[in-house]
Amino acid sequence: MTLEELKKKVDLTLADLGVHDEAGVNALFSEARETMNQERQKLVSHSNDPEFPGLVKEFRNLCLARKRGLVARIDENWLKTAPSELRPVVGRAFNNLRVQAEHLYAEESLVRLAQKLREVEAKERPDLTLPGYRRPLGSIHPITRVQREIEDIFLGLGFAIETGPEVETVYYNFDALNIPESHPSRDDWDTLYIDSQTVLRTHTSPVQIRAMEKYGAPLYIVIPGKCYRNDKPDASHSPMFHQMEGLAVDVDITFADLKGTLDFFAKKFFGETARTSFRPSFFPFTEPSGEVYVSCAICDGQGCSVCKQSGWIEVMGCGMVHPQVLRNGGIDPDRYSGWAFGLGIDRFAMMKYGIDDIQLFFQSDLRFLRQF
């Protein structure tokens, strides 16, 4: 029986329908139940549709609406008009049908609930078939890499690593290093002042004094760190750059120790064929002072455009620690002597990797950084 047929039949009485006995009643009711079941089946097939809740309501009204619902009309037209001898049979069949209709509707609510749960679950359950998140691996910045390489060479020689503040007092940055106010070399560092007594350190040398005060002698340290000068950025200048300071203080330290150590270091860093050359220079905090040259790695000292045909490249300043500097650090210059050097880590990295612009280190361009 189709729904349309059932809808017509529920408006007629059992007598109209030619139902006069128990078998006929049971057959009719079972057909009615079957039809309602089919409607429910249709409803279930729409449980994924957005209009599903509306369809459930429609189904409820179809079966259970107070006046025009199938159950109400069956009550009205089949049960109430049934002849008394059929009453018990019709009454039992009607009750079954009513309970079933209510069940069907209640089940539908459950289906809907289950459906909702399934949706929520699907949203929250990770899809294990998706590819994983790939976090890009970072790499060590070339400056850090070269800094560590230099540190490692000196650690191997028994040196320790020491650091100090980048915001430094005028005393440690200049005065204690034997650079009095009037001294012309104070201009050489084009200093960035915080106030009259505070600067951004122009070199790592102030940590020489801090370390002497802190540890006394003997002392073997390297000091990596950022330094600042009021320089216009260009291919070879940056207002922020990196230095590595070296300091050895002990009894009987001579210039020969300085030369031997730095020659060993140059060969470790640039390769065994590297040679060093020491030329006189001046720094207020070392006496005598020197500049260290390394044979050009590009042409092996033959002369090329990088070393300007000289075969040599200047790589650092150095010298024997000035007695006054030892004194300022609380060390007796009559008992102890020492040497120091200072090099630019950025320049070493440029030489090592053949980079011709220091700015590349500080622009965070991944195309550049990915190469390391």
Minimum CB separation of residue 232 from ligand PHE in Å reads 18
State the DSSP code for 133: P
Residues that bind ligand PHE (CB under 6 A): 203, 205, 245, 283, 286, 317-319, 340-342
CA distances from 350 to 202, 226, 347, 355, 359 (A): 20, 16, 5, 4, 11
Min dist. Cβ of residue 211 to ligand PHE (A): 13
Quote the least distance from Cβ 311 to ligand PHE, whole Å. 23
| Nearer to ligand PHE among residue 206 and residue 311 (C-beta) | 206
Pick the closer one to ligand PHE by CB: 56 or 315. 315
Q: Which is nearer to ligand PHE, 311 or 338 (CB)?
A: 338
Give the whole-angstrom CA distance, residue 343 versus residue 320.
15
The whole-angstrom separation of Cα 103 and Cα 89 is 21
* Shortest Å, Cβ 268 to ligand PHE: 19
Closest CB to ligand PHE among residues 207, 307: 207
CA nearest neighbour of 201 among 216, 233, 234, 179: 179
Strands 219-228 and 160-161: parallel
Find the shortest distance in angstroms from Cβ 227 to ligand PHE: 7
For the bound state, the minimum distance from the C-beta of residue 289 to ligand PHE, rounded and expressed in Å, comes to 6
- Retrieve residue 358's tokens: 């220091």
- Helix H or strand E encompassing 205: none
Least distance in angstroms from the C-beta of 307 to ligand PHE? 20
Residue pointed to by tokens 């010298």: 319
Please identify, using beta-carbon distances, which residue of 136 and 280 lies nearer to ligand PHE: 280
Closest residue to ligand PHE: CB criterion: 342
- What is the smallest separation between the CB atom of 252 and ligand PHE, expressed in angstroms? 20
Q: Where are the beta strands (DSSP E) in the chain?
A: 160-161, 167-169, 193-195, 198-200, 219-228, 240-250, 276-283, 286-295, 312-321, 337-344
Cα–Cα dist 294/290, whole Å: 13
Q: Which amino acid is present at 307? A: C
Question: β-strand 276-283 against 240-250: which pairing, if any?
Answer: unpaired
Which residues on adjacent β-strands are paired with residue 200? 167
Spatial contact of 66 and 72, defined as CB atoms under 8 Å apart: yes
Instruction: Pick the closer one to ligand PHE by CB: 93 or 292.
Output: 292
To the nearest whole angstrom, how small is the minimum distance from the Cβ of residue 156 to ligand PHE? 21
* Of 174 and 269, CB closest to ligand PHE: 174
- Which residues touch 31 (CB under 8 Å, ≥6 apart)? 1, 6
Q: Which of 31, 291 has the CB closer to ligand PHE?
A: 291
Query: Please, which residue, 43 or 340, has the CB nearer to ligand PHE?
Result: 340
